[in-house]
Structure 1
């Protein structure tokens, strides 16, 4: 029985599956009820796609330390044993009715005051996480759910999170999460230790605050902060100082909101403030910003040469020749310097209309939209060293052993005669244990050991 496609009515521990929720890289979310106690309401059950995934134990420990109005509560954890005898861990959390932040903003006319209020709630959730000795490590719009009326935001998906004393689960130098949200210090670390396989960046609270600033910038402008203006890939610390474009030059917004976004994106971590200070400042600004803060945030028109996108892509190709996809991608989002200016930058369309291959992150996977990992199938069937690149694996020309064959499920993609999961929060550069194809990262779908006989009508 495939953990990503449980039939309705399946019982997982004390919980009965009512409907499918969102699908992520590590887990599948189902809406469930407690068996024999439907009056208690519905809950979110996140089931691992990888047998005995240790991330679930770490996520449960971090969530168990948190009691906060803007973090889903943890109710249960356990292990589900499939009919084939394979064990998959699961978590049961509060069911959150909400829409991913960026999607919610596209559907509504959002004011600066609303943005300040929602950001304050997320910052408050981060402050509670940091006070409990943890870090989220994947703060982004896809991991914030907003209620339909826009009054409440939830910080979700602590699957990439960690806490003091937690054992290390990955062995790459860079932090987990989505690279567009990596802090400046994380990107510099990645560059400086790119040849040291033993180096490891320890993300801290300042990284979460920086990611919150990136999320805020992207929310109000529709684009990520401008990329590095790279002139020499081997210069100094691996970057060339470039001037930044202030958020108010990209969109009309409250000056207080713009100032706080700039603060969160400060080059020096000490200048950003901790999450509790940022939450307090955002709350105060929401109350004191005046009438201007009630106006709808609107994007400013851009007048940039049409050839700039081509120049950007050419720059990426040059970077790949020297550094490989990961370093080039990291440099593409790193900018440093202390001055915000009205300098013209390369054109970006709002993310809602940008072609899929240029999206920094895919649509939200709800509470299961995690960074990429691999199935047990994939661990047993990695390609030989000759087929593996520095970043990710080449898409094979034939299906892998044990991989599902067509017809594929509706959430899968058929490539080279096999079925694949597209990782919702990853674009190339892919992780070293995932496969790259057409500007997306994929994992092979495992073939069920026996045909399913209990599909719902």
Structure 2
């Protein structure tokens, strides 16, 4: 008679050996693996028999890890005494009569049962737990049952009773919950993320309640969560819970049934359950509730990937991604210390407060404050602060670099002081603290400037506060006051000889930016050069940052050769010292801008592509900075006559910004404006006009009627009206744009010169030659004064005057202007560029007498 051979018991030590050998086999190629298996079969036949099924699971590579762990767990459970014989209906366990088996759970089989002693009517879930017939273990389970019965929480299925069968198997009777499991509920309600988070919060509260009583769950997963018919969520099956005190003191090896997709990394390694493994499972459960996908432990640390997945269904996905990343960190010590920490962060997210899982930067804290108080802060303040925080353009890139610097404790103290100052400043917008009137952004920053002067803070703190308010005023287009505040920051720091040169350089750089906003480019150049001198002995990446600022100013002055050299040097430094960084992407972007201006379009396209690729890699597909490179590339496509190809890129950028900021943000209006511009090049004037209208509405609402950004759109709308022959509308738009610019920028600015050029072109079309000549000559003089002689705007004005005099049949004057335009274009761009070719054709036509 043959006798079956019983496999050796899989102890935790044997499991670790099995796991280690399996991982070693995974790293071998097929030939090496076969050789290793041959050796193991001769030396360790039992181990080889266990490895076989695990290696077979590799046929489905996506599931091999889960198959491995399930095999190990099932083997462990199968070797417990007692088997898994299903008890027949009608079996009595204490006061309960079994009705039917309803499935497996944790370490045993679950039955629906009814009260059979006649005391009262009640349905329960009875779980028969398969354990070794061991007196000490029975005693532990008895103690555990008594403690479980003390769990009194509305979101935990209550323990009603317990005992042992005739053959000493333990059982627990738990509250029966009619309804559906979490998986069924998620299929219907996945789109309502706040509803999902509300239910998740109740589950975390339940787990925290148990942890406070030194009880862990050990098997948190969707199948152990039920939604009752009353809508209440309940956590089921504390049947695999362990007393932490007993786990730490007992020398007995413990064997658990694991659900791999919901098991923390340490559980997969064979370590005991803990409060930290429960927190990991809660993070995985949150990910599943919001995305429908199980969480890969290796991907839990990838904030960008998590954010992209969550962004499909949730606003502020980076907050939730950070929460999940902390809850499900690989190392238990890196997770929330308790379920209460996870609970607080979910509550903070739901109330639009900063979650503690994220770094508490000033930008982040203030953004969440404004989102909580949109009415009290006001629309214009919102737009201004978001601009200040760097959420709309190259200013953001610069601040990112600054934030990544390795600060000393002084810097940390400075940041804390400034954050307190700003939060206190914006709390003044609270309706309970300002009942007399609604405070605007200008009211707030004006009060802030007054406060700084009486604060007895260090120069670094005062200067940083001045800098913050300077950036606020720039966002409000109050460039003169922004300049004064930036100058105060420089003055405060320059008066203290102990100030680090890099901090003083940052102040000079901000001063230069405010001067540039006022169109005072020569003074801005001087300020940038002073900043660059201060960092002459600093690390090269710091110098590269200030080279970039100076390069942008020289670019605005039309000194393209010098600007290009700075951009190239900055790129070389960042490529060597900051590879795969946002700073390197910025360098590619700026050099592309330069190359596009001088009509080296193939190079420009290459650099823009690199910037986009790198920003997608470093910052993510849906990061707003990525969208700026997309729009720059699209602008290049329009300028090279490929407007149709540009439109998809503009639309992708629009989707990114709407997802990040909502559909009423100035950054969204910028893309709408660019879409209008692209359609105007395609002579789709109706679509262009609609995009401009939407951009205008957003800018007026968020920035105010008299913001220079409103004038930009009015100027563009005038060009469309002129193209359609509607000269009256064109002139009306231009007069309003001119009034805004003069009010904000004074009488001389290169943006004013653009409007004057457009006015001249409109009057030229109307045949009003004297008015056209007056506007065009004023534009030319203004551009020469603001930008210098060698600038493409000056060349544009010269060419417009050439056309005017050609129309008046003043051939000599026309030829003179056309010749000077050609010389200027040729000094700036390649001979093959469209601008040079068009200018040469105009001159030849004039000289030919046509």
Greater fraction strand: 1
Normalised TM-score (structure 2) = 0.28
- Which structure carries more relative contact order (alpha carbon 8 Å, separation 6+)? 1
Structure with higher Rg: it is 2
